[in-house]
Chain A
C-alpha cells in the first residue's frame, strides 16, 4: 500500500516541519519507527501531509502553509490525499483528535489504537501522555492491514507495552453484544444505533456525565505537556532563528515570537500557568486525578458493555474561524486522556476497552 505520513512523523529524506514556521526545512537524522515497520511489511511512503502547528488544532488550519479550505469548509490534508486515492492510507498523530474529526467529516475510517501499542519513536512530541500514532483509511480492510504492520513492542519507546499486550490488539476477539450510547454528548446517532440493533447488538443509553469532564482535564494536560515539549525550539540549535537579537534572552524571545503562531502561543501560556507552583495542585494535579476517575468510569462501563458510542464532531463541516478546537475536542478527549482505542466510521465514534481493536474494527465494518 502507498501510505502518506502526516508531518509530525520524522523522516530522514524529507523535511519535517510539524506545521510550524519554527521547523521550516528541518531534517531529522532518523526516521520514525513506524516507517521501518511499514516498509518491512511491504508498504511504501507516498509522501507527507501538512498538519496544523504541532497537530492539536481542528483539521490542520493552523499550518504554517495556511488552512486548506474547499467550499467554505476546512479540509484536512491527509484525509484529502486518501479521499483522492493519492495514497491508500495515512499515518497520523492523534494528539487532539484531528484524524478522528477528519475521518468523520470525509467518510473515512480512523483508528486510534490503544496507547503504547504503536511506537512513538520518531514522532514530534506534543502531548506525550495521550498522543498516539493512528491510521486513516478508506476501508476497514485497509485500516486493518496498516494496523498489522505498525503494532508491536519497541525498546526505543519507554511507554511501549510488552509484545504480549501488542499481540492482543491483533488477536483479540471481535464479538459485540452490548454497546452503550453516551447521552451526555448529544448528537444524532440514530442511524448507527439502528445498524447495530439490526445486527443483533444490544444498544443501551447511559448518561455518562463524567466523560464530559475529559475535555477540561485533557486541555490542561495537553497544554502543559505541549508547553514543555516545544520549549526545546529556542533558536539555539536548529530551526528558526530571529535575525535581530542582543543576548541570549532576546534570541529566545524573538525567535519564538516570530516563529510560533497565535494558537500555539495561547496554549504555551495556558500550559505554563497550569504547571506553576501556585497552580500545580489546583490545576495540573486535579487534571491527573480526573484522568484516573475517567479511566475508572470506562472500566466500569466495559465490565458490562463491549464498546461505547458517541459523536466525533459537532458538525459535518467547519467554516473557518467558527469552531473552537478546545471545545470541539470534547468528543475526542475521552479516548485521548485515557489512551483507550477509538474508531471513527460512518461519521460516528466508538471507544473500546484497551486492546479491543478487533471489536472496534468489527463495529466499523457494520457502520461503514
Chain B
C-alpha cells in the first residue's frame, strides 16, 4: 500500500530584540557568564511585575504579517504552569487565548513544485533558562540568562508531507523572518528550534493516523533523519504490527539514529493556562498596525523581479542576491555609489561570497559597508586600482568596517601608475638582469616572457595596467 506522511511543525524562534520580554535585561547572552543577564524579575523572585516590551509585540506583528497572518488587534498573555528548575517562577508567560497572529499562509517550493502551507497561529512567549549538568560533580547548575528572552512559536497546520518540504518550509521561514529583521533563525545557535508532529496514513485517506511528537529538534539534518525514521517506524507498525502506535512525545537520538518514547512523567501534565492578571491586554490600534505594516521589507520575490526589471540583472544573479537581505542591502548600497548594477552584482556575489567562504561566514553575517564597496568598484572600473588589489582591499573591509577604499589604496601603495617612464625603467632593469630569459623568448619560448612580466608586476606592486606593461616589455625585449 502507498502511504503518506502528515507533518505539522511548531517552530520556536528567538526574537532579536535588545532586551527581554518583561524586564530590561539584555536578551543577548550568547557566550556570556552564566547568570550575568538576570534580575529579580527574570529569575523568579517575588515582587517585580511584568511590563511588556513593546518591541516584542512589534516583532511578533512583523513575523505575522511576513507569514500572511491576520493580526489580533487585542492580544493577551497567559500563564502556563509547570515545575522545572529552568523555569524560575514555575510558570511561563505565553499566549494561549488570543495569540498575536493567526491564519497565515507560507508558500514553499520543492522538486515537486510549489505548495501552500497554512499557519495556524504565531504566539509570543518567554524562553526558559538552561540546565548545565556537571557529570564530575554529579550536580546540575541553572543558568537564567535565557529566561524571558522573547520567542515566537509558529504553529503550522499538518500540511507538510516530506523531509524535503520540511526543509524548504524552515528555509522559507528563516528567509522571511530575516528579511523582516526580527530573528536570526540559526538552529546551530539555538535561535530556531523545532517540534515535529508526525503521522502516517494510506495515501489519499482523509483520516489522520496516530500522531507522535519529537521535541526540541535543533538541526535540519537531524529533522530530516528523524522524519524518515519515524515514517518508516509508523509504516512498519501499521503493516507488520511490530508495535502499537500511541500518541506520545518522543526524543530523537541523532547519534543512534532512533527515536525513543519519553517517560510519561516527562510529558504528562496539565499546564493550567489562565490569563495573566498582571499583563493587561495589548491593544494594537490603527496607528501602531499601520506603522508596522509600513516597515515591512519587500518580499524576496518582489525584490528579485525588481532587480531584473530595474537593474537588468540576470535571473541567476537576482536569485543569488535575494537569498539574503544582508546581501541585498550590500548590493543596493554599492549600486547607489557605483551606478553599475552588473559590477555591483558581480562583486556582491562572487567576490564577497569567496571571502565569506574563506572566513566561514554566512551571508547574513555580512557586515561590510556597501557604500565603501561601491567606491571600491569605481576605483577598479576606472583603472585606479588593479582587480587583484581590489580583492585585497575588499578582504580588508571585512576586518575594518570603517575602511575608506581610496585612502587605504593610497596608504598601501595600491594606486595604478600611468607613469610609462617608471614602467620602462623597471622593465629595462628586469630584462637586463635576466639575459637567459631574453634569449629563451627569442628562441620561441613564450613562457619566458610571462616570467619577465610577472617579475615586473611584482616590482610595480601590481599597480600597472597589464596591457601597457606587456607592450612596453615586448618592445624592450625585441630591442635587445
- Name the prevailing secondary structure of the B interface residues: loop
From B88-96, B151-159, B254-262, B376-384, the one touching the partner chain is B88-96
Cross-chain contact of A28 among B45, B50, B90 (Cβ < 8 A): B45
Residue B296, interface by CB 8 Å: no
Q: Closest residue to B83 on the A side, CB-wise?
A: A252
A122 and B272 CA atoms in complex are apart in Å by 26
Does B210 reach chain A (CB closer than 8 Å)?
Answer: no
A231 at the interface (CB under 8 A from B): yes
Binds A, one of B212-220, B223-231, B276-284: B276-284
Asked if B43 is at the interface (CB within 8 A of a chain A CB), the reply is yes
The interface on chain A, measured as residues whose beta carbon lies within 8 A of the other chain's beta carbons, has a size of: 38
Residues in A neighbouring B273, C-beta threshold 8 A:
275, 280
Q: Which residues of A contact B52 (CB under 8 A)?
A: 158
Give the residue name and chain of the B residue nearest to A157 (CB): B49
Give the residue of B50, B88, B270 whose beta carbon is less than 8 angstroms from that of A232. Answer: B88
Task: Judge if A254 is at the interface, Cβ distance under 8 Å.
Answer: no
Q: If the complex has contacts A124-B47, A225-B277, A236-B85, are A29 and B40 also in contact, measured as CB distance less than 8 A? A: yes
A168 to B277, CA, bound (A): 23
Is the CB of A46 closer than 8 A to any CB of chain B?
no
Please, which residues of chain A bring their CB within 8 A of the CB of B209?
A: none
Q: How far is the CB of B275 from chain A (nearest CB, A)?
A: 8
Q: A245: CB under 8 A from chain B? A: no
* Chain B: minimal CB distance from A219 (Å): 15
Whole-angstrom CA separation of A217 from B369 in the bound complex: 62
Residue of A nearest to B50 (CB): A158
Given known contacts A29-B45, A125-B46, is B90 in contact with A272 (CB within 8 Å)?
Answer: no
Q: State which of A156, A272, A276 has its C-beta within 8 Å of the C-beta of B49.
A: A156
Contact A232 B44 (CB under 8 A): yes
CB of B396 closer than 8 Å to a CB of A: no
- The total of chain B residues at the interface (CB under 8 A) is 29
Inter-chain contact A125/B278, CB cutoff 8 Å: yes
Q: B78 to chain A: closest CB distance in Å? A: 11
- List A131-150 residues whose CB lies under 8 Å from chain B: none
Q: A123 within 8 Å of B by Cβ? A: yes
Q: Is B404 an interface residue (CB 8 A)?
A: no
Measured CB to CB, the nearest residue on chain B to A126 is: B46
Scoring A155, A236, A276 by chain B CB atoms within 10 A of each residue's CB, the highest score goes to: A236
> With an 8 A cutoff between CB atoms, is B349 at the interface?
no
Cβ contacts B36-75/A at 8 Å (1 or 0 each): 0000100111111111100000000000000000000000
The answer to the question of A237 belonging to the interface, with a C-beta cut-off of 8 Å to chain B, is yes
Apart from A10-B47, A121-B47, A236-B88: 16 A-B pairs, beta carbons within 8 A: A121-B48, A125-B46, A125-B47, A125-B49, A156-B51, A158-B49, A225-B277, A228-B272, A232-B46, A232-B90, A234-B83, A236-B142, A237-B88, A238-B45, A252-B83, A276-B272
Closest 3 CB pairs of A and B: A129-B277, A231-B90, A275-B272
11 contacts between A and B (CB under 8 A): A125-B46, A129-B277, A155-B51, A157-B49, A231-B83, A231-B91, A232-B91, A275-B270, A276-B272, A277-B272, A284-B274
